[in-house]
Amino acid sequence: MSGPTVTLAMPSCTSDDSPRLDKLGGDPDVTPLRVLVVDDESLIVMALNDQLEHLGHEVVATASTGPEAVELADQHQPDLVLMDIHLGGGMDGLEAAAEINATRATPIIILTGFTDKALVERGRSCGVVAHLLKPIDMHDLRMALEIGWKHFRDSTSRP
């Protein structure tokens, strides 16, 4: 049994100095995002890459550890980061999110295999705009991207 369907339409950026936001395909009413994908399971990374491209977004880089995610976020400056909570390299996804956001405000969507209220609370201070439960469904991914991006843009555009 499926729940109600929600469709969000977001305006496209038309600024000449932001060619990266040109339409990449997918839904014509969604702003294409440059996304960093972080997960230590290569099959999940491949599936997310395919889903993101199908939705019209660009995967700018992939990482499998927290430190690698921080480095690639600094290098590529993605619009959004999709990151697993459990990563190798001595740093979990929330620690990596906090380091990424210490340098540049970037919305983070955390991927997790279970719900945990403490995790959600901890994520709020790290730039986490949404949590997605694995396995990730295309509809849930689309909604998390749209709602997370809108929330981030609304919160950063306030005076």
Domain ranges of the chain: 31-156
Confidence of residue 151 (pLDDT cuts 50, 70, 90): confident
Residue 29 confidence class, pLDDT cut points 50, 70, 90? low
Number of H helices and number of E strands within the chain? 5, 5
- The pLDDT value given to residue 33: 96
Q: And the tokens for 114?
A: 């279970």
31-156 classified as CATH 3.40.50.2300: yes
The pLDDT value given to residue 76: 98
State yes or no: pLDDT of 10 exceeds 60: no
Which pLDDT score, from 0 to 100, does residue 25 have?
A: 44
Q: At 3, is the pLDDT very low, low, confident or very high (cuts 50, 70, 90)? A: very low
The number of CA neighbours under 13 Å toward the Cβ of 119 is 18
Alpha-carbon torsion angle 19, 26, 48, 114, nearest 10? 110
Round to whole Å and give the CA distance between 12 and 31: 5
Closest CA to 31 of 145, 156, 155: 145
Beta strand 108-112 with 128-133 is parallel
100-119 mean pLDDT: 91
Helix, strand, or coil here: 65?
Answer: strand
Mean pLDDT of 18-36: 61
Residue 28: pLDDT band by 50, 70, 90 thresholds? low
Look at 79 and 121; give whichever has higher pLDDT: 79
* Amino acid present at 74: D
What is the pTM for the complete model shown? Answer: 0.80
